[in-house]
Amino acid sequence: MKKYIKDRAIKKIPINNAMWDKSKVLKFKKGKRSNDSQLIEYVDPKNIKVNNYWEDEYDIQIITLDILLKSYNFKKIDFICITINGAEYEALLGCTLIIKKYNPNLYIAANHQDVRPMVNAIPYQEVIIEVLNGYKYDTYVDDKGWIVGEKNPNQKL
């Protein structure tokens, strides 16, 4: 992302953090032939093809979107797009303050059945919709399998 921004002389500052539901360090594996990475706990040990693809392990400091919010003086947050290859659920849990304060519209990748089909025995899409329903969001799944969450302005938490 930094290279993309530099090459195109874009005047935006990338925020280089990994998101989760709490601040901690998580272990990842790096892909052999690309910039892919995968949270180690999501690599299925029974899938030999997948295991042959991943190589080096490394640690990443993870934070929440709410922690990030405290680092910047945002006046308004009206849209959040979350696509983290199976960690969208945790990132969503880590933005409670943002949701309560700003009521942003959300666009969340929830089409990662190959990486993470379930959370606590609930299908991945359903568990994300359940969280958004708890915040009184209207939700639907688009044709790509992404979840759209829109805050009804008449609803209060």
Q: State the DSSP H helix or E strand holding residue 88, giving kind and residue range, or none if neither.
A: helix 88-93
Does position 22 have pLDDT exceeding 80, yes or no?
Answer: yes
- How many CB atoms are located within 10 Å of the residue 59 CB? 9
Predicted local confidence at residue 102, as pLDDT:
93
Predicted local confidence at residue 96, as pLDDT:
95
Which amino acid belongs to residue 90?
E
Alpha-carbon distance of 104 to 81, in angstroms, equals: 10
- pLDDT, one tens digit per residue, over 36-92 is 666 666 655 555 455 667 778 888 889 999 998 888 878 888 999 998 878 899 999
pLDDT tier at 148, thresholds 50, 70, 90: very high
Which amino acid belongs to residue 21?
D
pTM assigned to the model: 0.79
